[in-house]
Structure 1
Amino acid sequence: MKKDIEIPKVEGVYIAVVNEYNDVYKSEDWNAYIINEKETDLEMVIIVSEGYSETKKTAVFRKRIDKLPAKSYAKIELMQEDLFKLNNSFKVSFFEGDAMLDKTYIFRKNTINLKALRPIPLMDVKGVLVK
């Protein structure tokens, strides 16, 4: 029976952590974004994030996005640099058409830093991306 269950693979949806200037507070901030590079809209997107290590664990953060249009992105949360010492997990669930899909994106500890910045699709900025 288990072999008959088809679990669709999530492609074209990414999580990026971007270093950007905050005009209001005149500071460099790190923000997490979800990116939909698909040709279809994502409905009822639920994101559950947390940081963890062998000895520490952060509070769980939840975010809902009713609709993430095709070829777009949305800010998830501001991230403090202290979190980069931990593994950071983003569990993403969403509907695409009639199917519910989910995927867990993990930024391993110390992988988010200025030296790791790369171009981010759709955003025209540099950041750290997990596919």
Structure 2
Amino acid sequence: MIKDLPQNVVKDIGIAVALESETPESKIWYVYLINKKDVPLETVLITSKGYGEKNGEQVKTSILRHAFPLIPAQSFKLIEPIDEATFGLSNEYWLSFYIGTDIFDKKFIFLPESIVDGNFIKLPLVNKPGVMIL
């Protein structure tokens, strides 16, 4: 029964969109997984997709899948570049990983227009400006 399954809550792990570099013509953005835990994450799987409405029409991006065998404790991992044109969509990252024999998963969703200067922080471990969901 589902009530018998353990409640494996994801804590101290975030997905962040970081401003990598900026010129007068363009900005370069990357998405990172940030592991603030004191233990490594094993068999990490991440899917990403964008969806929403743009110019009165429903829009969906391709689903991208990423796999990493190990993310060390107190570290970060580059997931993918992200196009600024998708910031008007919901950008979803679904994370699954193991700690020992326990499996964890969590969905992180950057809502439309949430990746803006007013929401920037200095991202932990990455030390770049950006927006993070814990």
Which blocks of at least 5 consecutive residues in structure 1 are unaligned? none
SS in 2 for 1:56: strand
What residue in structure 2 maps to residue 59 of structure 1?
62
**1:40-66 Cα deviation digits (max 9, x unpaired):** 000110000000015111000111111
In the TM superposition, structure 1's runs of 4+ consecutive aligned residues that sit over 6 Å from their partners are: none
Which blocks of at least 5 consecutive residues in structure 2 are unaligned? none
What residue in structure 2 maps to residue 98 of structure 1?
101
CA RMSD of aligned residues (A): 1.7
Q: How many residues align?
A: 129
SS in 2 for 1:112: coil
Q: Show the 5 A alignment for 1:1-131.
A: 1-21=1-21, 28-54=27-53, 55-131=58-134
SS in 1 for 2:39: coil
Q: Tell me the CA shift for residue 119 of structure 1.
A: 1.6
TM-score (norm. length: structure 2): 0.90
TM-score (norm. length: structure 1): 0.92
Q: Tell me the CA shift for residue 28 of structure 1.
A: 2.9
Identical residues among aligned pairs (%) = 36
